[in-house]
Structure 1
Amino acid sequence: MPSALVSTEIAIGTLLVAALLVLAATYLRRRYIAKGQPLTLCGFRAGGSDRWHLGLMRLADNALEWYTLGGVSLRPKRRWQRQALLLEAPRLLAPDDALALLPDAYGVSCTDRVETFELALQGPDYTAVRSWQEAAPPGYNVNVA
């Protein structure tokens, strides 16, 4: 009987260590992705699709970057250049189209030179993205320190 107890303790201990490793990896990935820039929860939907994908959005110097919420990738899944990005007027998402983790989110239709897509953002996040886009200095690839 003691061997069954030891086996159970080892199994529970292994599961706890695995859970702690997943939590630590998630935290460290989020910290690395942020790099001191604003990072927010955002929904993404490709043009013509009905399915939202949750992710993290970062306002980098010259691009809007979207990362998947789960996974280990440190590279953005989508990246749109600031000068090519066009944001439409926001609209409140219908209850049947809303995301559970983003209550009272707005859908924003967006286009760049290649694709049409939609972002789901909460009010303050939309304001931040709009301000970021409109504050771009004139010219291509201009960095202002």
Structure 2
Amino acid sequence: MPSVLVSTEIVIGTLLALAVVILTTTYLRRRYIARGLQLTLCGLRQPGTARWRLGLIRFGDNALEWFTLGGVSVRPKRRWARQRLQIEAPVLLTGTESIPLLPDASLVPCTDGDAGFELALQGPAYTALRSWQEAAPPGYNVNVA
């Protein structure tokens, strides 16, 4: 009959192995999602809800893509085309609206055609988003008169 000490060692070893697997998976997922593009932490809130969902946004060539913070999926949950995305002026989140993992974040109202949503971004991330939206890669919309 195994002793309590051996059982405890097995449980602790299993938990440590599980923690290593989770951390490694998270690291590799983040690296794969970034693929050399700019990636930053942000909050997403759909209209009519008070709940912020934390995630990662990636500034792609033609679209802004939002990924959930946790999980194993490497596909974006939301995708907004650059030419349809409209970004409004940011408003500082204060009091009960503030997000603990995003201190000093600003609320950025956005629309994608008819659908509206809000992003919570810290100062440098908002600047990057605004710059990304205003700057197009070479050859983008070259047929526009």
TM-score by length of 2: 0.91
Q: Paired residue for 1:68?
A: 68
Q: Determine if contact 2:91/2:108 at 8 Å carries over to the other structure.
A: yes
CA distance in 2, matches of 1:137, 1:74: 24
After superposition, give the CA deviation of every residue in 1:21-54 in whole Å (9 maximum; x if it has no partner).
0000000000000001111100000012111100
1:36-75 to 2 correspondences below 5 Å: 36-75=36-75
The equivalences for 1:1-145 within 5 A come to 3-136=3-136
Local SS of the residue matching 1:118: strand
Could you tell me whether the CA contact under 8 Å between 1:37 and 1:60 is conserved in 2? yes
Unaligned segments of structure 2, at least 5 residues: none
Q: CA deviation at 1:77?
A: 0.6
- Structure 1 residues 7 and 88 mapped into 2: Cα distance closer, same or farther (>3 Å)? same
Computed over aligned residues only, the root mean square deviation of the Cα atoms, in angstroms, reads 1.8
Deviates more, 1:63-72 or 1:133-142: 133-142
- Cα distance in 2 for residues equivalent to 1:78 and 1:95: 28
The alpha-carbon deviation at position 94 of structure 1 amounts to 2.2
Aligned-pair CA distance for 1:9: 1.2
For 2:27 and 2:106, the matched residues in 1 are separated by: 27
How far residue 2 of structure 1 moved from its aligned partner, in angstroms, is 5.7
Q: Please list every run of at least 4 consecutive aligned residues from structure 1 whose deviation after the TM superposition is greater than 6 angstroms.
A: 138-142
Mapped partners of 2:67, 2:46: distance in 1: 14
1:70, CA displacement in angstroms?
Answer: 0.7
1:58 Cα shift?
A: 0.6
User: Contact between 2:61 and 2:137, CA under 8 Å: does it hold in 1?
Assistant: no
Contact 1:62 1:82 in 2 (8 A): yes
Corresponding letter in the other structure for 1:100? P
- Within 1, Cα distance between the matches of 2:87 and 2:72? 29
Contact 1:42 1:57 in 2 (8 A): yes
Where structure 1 has 5 or more consecutive residues not aligned to the other structure, the ranges are: none
Does structure 1 retain, via aligned residues, the 8 Å contact 2:58–2:66?
Answer: yes
Amino acid at match of 2:115: E
Instruction: Answer yes or no: is the 8 Å Cα contact 2:46–2:118 preserved in 1.
Output: yes
Partner amino acid, structure 1, of 2:89: A
In the alignment, the residues of structure 2 paired with residue 101 and residue 7 of structure 1 have an alpha-carbon distance, to the nearest angstrom, of: 37
Aligned residues: 142
